[in-house]
Every structure is written in C-alpha cells, then in structure tokens.
C-alpha cells in the first residue's frame, strides 16, 4: 500500500484516539538496554520506526515481544554493539542507541544516520558531548565506531537544545561514574518521558522538563513498566486537519498541556479549541484565517514537526501568511507539492516562505518525500475540491499508525491502496 486516495471537501466529525508518541517510544526503547532486567513499555505505537527499533534491539541480543498493550523487552543477553543493516539506514532515531550502547557495552558501531530531506541532520553535538564523558569515536566507510574505557560524569553546556543530543547524554549519564550536569538541554516532553522511564528503573535525574538537568551516575538500573504518553504531533496533525477541512472533532488522549503553542496558533487560524477530561475538542468553520507570522521554535514553542501541517492549512487561508522554519534548514519541500494543488507558496530563503492563501485548493497527484510533509499532503487532500492521490506513503507510515483509519473515523473519505 503505497498511495492514499482522498475525496476532499468533507468536514470532519467525531472522535479519534491519539496513538502513543513515536519520539518518546524510541529513546525509551533504547533505554531498555541499560538494565539486565525485563521492562514492559505500554502504548508503543505500531509504526515503522518502532518496528525498525525493535529489529535493531533484537540484533543486539534483546528478547522483544509484542504483548496486548505494548512491548516486553529483556536485555539480559545483549551482546557487544554492532548495528548494521537496513534498519539503521534512513532512520535517524537509531542514533539514541549510541549513548545507551556506550553505557551498557562500552562500545557502539552504527552507520552514520546521515542527513535527510529536511536537512543535513549533523551529529557533531552528540559526539562532542559523549567525548566529554569519556567516549572516543572514529569514522570509516560511513560507519561510526564509538568506544569507552568507562564513561564519567561531565558538565556539558549544549550550544543549542538538540533533542537527540540531550537524550544521548542522559542515556550515557545514568551509566557513567559520577554526575552529569547538562545546561542548554532540550525541554521536549519526549525527554521528560525518557527521564520518567529511567526514574522508574531507579535512576536519579533532576530537572526533567527544564533546560538544566542533573543526571546522577553509577546507579544499578532495574527493569520497569512504563506507559508511552500520547503523541502531541499526531494530535496536532489531526487538529490541523480539522482546521483545514472544518468540522468538530474530539482528540482522545491529546496532551493539551504539551500543546499550548499549537492551540494558540489554532485560535489565530479561527478555530475554537478547549481541553476536555480526556483530550482536546476542536471546532472549525473550514475557512481558516491567515497568520501574520508563524515561527517554529524549540519546545515549548511551535513544533517544527507541525510546520508542514500548518503550511497546508495556511495554503487555504485567504490572505497573506509568513512561515519561518527556525529548526531545520530545508523543511519546505512540501510547498512544491502543495502548489500543484493550487496553493501559492513562495520560498524567500532556506528558513522562510510567504503564503498567499487561496479560497480553494484542488485535488492532484502529489508525492510525499518525508514523514511530516506527507501528512501535510493528506491534510491538503481533505481540504481540496475533488480527488487527491498521495504517493510515497511509506514515509507517512513511519510515524502514523493508521492515518487513513483515524481520519475515516472522523468521516473523511480516504483509503490507502
Ligand atoms: C528530534 O530530532 C525529533 N526526532 C524530530 O522529529 C524533531 O523534528 C526534532 O527533534 C526537533 O524537535 C526524534 O525524536 C526521533 P535535534 P533530532 O537534534 O534529535 C541541529 C519527526 O518528524 N543539530 O533537536 O534529530 C539539527 O541539524 C522528527 O518525528 C546539530 O547541528 O533533532 C537541527 O537543525 C523529524 N548538531 C537542530 O539541531 C547535532 O549534533 C535540531 O535537531 C544535532 C542537531
């Protein structure tokens, strides 16, 4: 199934359950390597990136079993880290295994995760920080070999709040001798989730959710149970879909307390949103308003992962909007496809586009080239008059369990073939 067909112009109604968070599940699964006991990770999304991480863990010697509600992981037999093969290629999230393997085995070997469509995706901060903790790296033929005689605590001042680098430092820090202070840490909820799982395992981590973390090393970690929180980006995707197509939707499980910037943007776009006991309710007319300037920022600012979804909505918001992508340097590729649907998006530079919103997008055949841009094309298809076919859907399935099922539950006419 590599294409999605959408009959647009239908308002969304009803309720949909939000899946577990991809970007929380992945570092938590990496962290299960740090204990020789069994862990049970509930609410893991059944998405391609999680399946790829599971196959990597199995290659490393973990016993991983899908249970009714989640993943059971037994890392007692983990062998020395030598990750190769397809699973690592094109999956940046394997990078969080680096800190975990150095902590568990004293070595790690992985293929350079490389850049991707949205940008260079360098890993200099990861390597620099782990070197301060006693790791040494060499790179040949696209493989990164990491080794340590034993990690030690350090004071690390991150020059930019890299989510992945913060996660790698935490994963290494809980296994290091001594304490690690991180300043300038990323504050994303997914990092807080990782800290909570590790605390369940007996780790001592202070400052979770802030940009100053203290990770106490040297504690023996035991297995633990953990429930992956709902995915704020999937919730934001469906919230944007409702703003674009119109309707009244309840996002069950949506973490409203992690989505302040998104909810503020939604009301600027003319939608009414309110938190409920179990999630977020949103009502929208289907005629979104333009936003003078929308800039992506590190958490708690507007998330870069929802920039493409917002762009799709603004493409159908009559009037002028400016969208600024401050996190990645090439995250506007989807604009070319949106313009094929009648949008009028002009790129000013690597970080800025101007949108002249049109009254009506029209259906077209468009291609997804990466995860969040693909989801944005689905939103545009829901908004457009007529039929849209989105190809390249394997990118979308990396992060969305079943976007067609979810949107059909909200009344959309959408199928994957
Ligand atoms: C995580 O990627 C997420 N991925 C991304 O989600 C998300 O967009 C990103 O954080 C920002 O929120 C996962 O959690 C698996 P960064 P990560 O390190 O850790 C630069 C999705 O769609 N940088 O915070 O790779 C980098 O180039 C994905 O679910 C360096 O310069 O992001 C970027 O410009 C896409 N050197 C900025 O920092 C480094 O060593 C933010 O990157 C590392 C990063």
Q: What is the pLDDT of residue 69?
A: 83
Least confident of 110-119, 167-176, 308-317: 110-119
Contact at 8 Å (CB) between 355 and 323? yes
Average pLDDT of the residues in 203-209? 98
Whether residue 210 is found in the same domain as residue 348: no
Q: What is the pLDDT of residue 68?
A: 86
How is residue 195 annotated by DSSP?
Answer: H
Per the structure, the complete domain to which residue 346 belongs is given by 3-19+230-416
The domain total for the chain is: 2
Q: Is 9 in the same domain as 130? A: no
Which residue out of 45, 160, 162, 399 has the highest number of ligand 1 atoms within 8 Å of its CB and is therefore the one to mutate?
162
- The answer to whether residue 201 is catalytic is no
Are residues 299 and 197 part of one domain? no
Number of H helices, E strands in the chain: 12, 23
Do 243 and 271 contact (CB within 8 A), yes or no?
A: yes
- At residue 119 the predicted structure's pLDDT band, cuts being 50, 70 and 90, is confident
> Is residue 52 within 6 Å of ligand 1 at its C-beta?
no
pTM of the model: 0.97
48 lines ligand 1 (CB under 6 A): no
Angle in degrees, CA 89, 92, 96, rounded to 5? 120
pLDDT of the residue at 60: 87
Other CB atoms within a 10 A radius of the CB of residue 372 amount to: 26
pLDDT of residue 93: 65
Helix axes 232-245, 307-315, angle to 10 degrees: 0
**Same-domain pairing of 180 and 249:** no
* Among candidate residues 227, 260, 288, the one where a domain is terminated: 227
Among all chains, which residue has been given the structure tokens 């605390």?
199
Count of C-beta atoms within a 10 Å radius of residue 47 = 24
| 3-state SS assignment for residue 65 | strand
Q: Work out the number of other CB atoms within 10 angstroms of the CB of residue 290.
A: 20
Give the Cα separation of 15 and 249 in Å (integer): 6
pLDDT of 142: 81
pLDDT tier at 81 (50, 70, 90 boundaries)? low
CA-closest residue to ligand 1 atom 19: 164
- CATH code, 14: 3.65.10.10
* Residue nearest ligand 1's atom 17 by CA: 164
Do 277 and 247 lie in one domain? The reply is yes
3-state secondary structure of 263: helix
Do 377 and 351 lie in one domain? The reply is yes
Q: Residue 85: its pLDDT value, please?
A: 47
**pLDDT, mean of residues 158-177:** 97
Mean pLDDT value of segment 384-403: 97
Write out pLDDT tens, residues 31-62: 999 999 999 999 999 999 999 999 889 988 89
Percent of the chain with pLDDT over 90: 86
Residues 173 and 260 in one domain: no
- Output the six-digit token pair for 404: 């067609």
Looking up tokens 């981590």 gives: 205
């Amino acid at each position: 199934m590599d294409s999605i067909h959408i009959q647009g112009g239908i308002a969304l109604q009803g309720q949909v359950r939000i899946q577990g968070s991809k970007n929380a599940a992945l570092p938590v699964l990496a962290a299960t390597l740090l204990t020789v006991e069994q862990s049970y990770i509930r609410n893991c999304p059944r998405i391609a990136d999680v399946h790829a991480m599971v196959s990597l863990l199995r290659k490393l010697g973990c016993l991983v079993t899908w249970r009714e509600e989640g993943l059971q992981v037994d890392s007692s037999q983990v062998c020395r880290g030598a990750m190769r093969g397809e699973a690592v290629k094109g999956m940046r999230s394997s990078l969080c295994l680096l800190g975990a393997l150095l902590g568990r085995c004293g070595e790690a070997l992985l293929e350079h995760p490389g850049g991707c469509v949205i940008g260079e995706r360098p890993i200099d901060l990861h390597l620099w920080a782990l070197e301060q903790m006693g790791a040494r790296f060499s790179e040949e033929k696209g493989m990164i070999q990491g080794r340590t005689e034993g990690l030690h605590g350090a004071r690390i001042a991150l020059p930019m709040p890299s989510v992945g680098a913060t996660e790698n430092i935490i994963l290494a820090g809980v296994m290091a001798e001594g304490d690690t202070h991180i300043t300038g840490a990323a504050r994303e909820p997914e990092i807080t989730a990782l800290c909570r799982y590790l605390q369940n395992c007996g780790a001592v981590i202070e400052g979770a959710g802030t940009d100053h973390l203290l990770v106490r090393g040297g504690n023996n970690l035991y297995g633990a149970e953990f429930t992956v929180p709902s995915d704020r980006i999937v919730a934001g995707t469906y919230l944007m879909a409702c703003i674009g197509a119109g309707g009244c939707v309840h996002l069950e499980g949506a973490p409203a307390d992690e989505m302040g910037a998104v909810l503020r943007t939604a009301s600027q776009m003319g939608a009414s949103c309110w938190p409920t006991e179990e999630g977020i309710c949103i009502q929208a007319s289907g005629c979104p308003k333009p936003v003078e300037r929308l800039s992506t920022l590190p958490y708690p600012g507007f998330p870069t992962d929802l920039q493409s979804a917002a762009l799709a909505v603004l493409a159908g918001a009559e009037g002028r909007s400016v969208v600024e992508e401050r996190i990645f340097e090439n995250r506007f590729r989807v604009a070319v496809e949106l313009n094929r649907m009648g949008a009028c998006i002009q790129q000013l530079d690597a970080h800025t586009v101007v949108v002249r919103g049109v009254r009506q997008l029209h259906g077209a055949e468009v291609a997804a080239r990466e995860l969040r841009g693909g989801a944005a094309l689905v939103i545009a298809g829901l908004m457009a008059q007529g039929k849209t076919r989105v190809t390249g859907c394997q990118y979308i399935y990396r992060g969305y369990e079943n976007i067609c099922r979810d949107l059909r539950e909200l009344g959309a006419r959408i199928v994957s073939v």
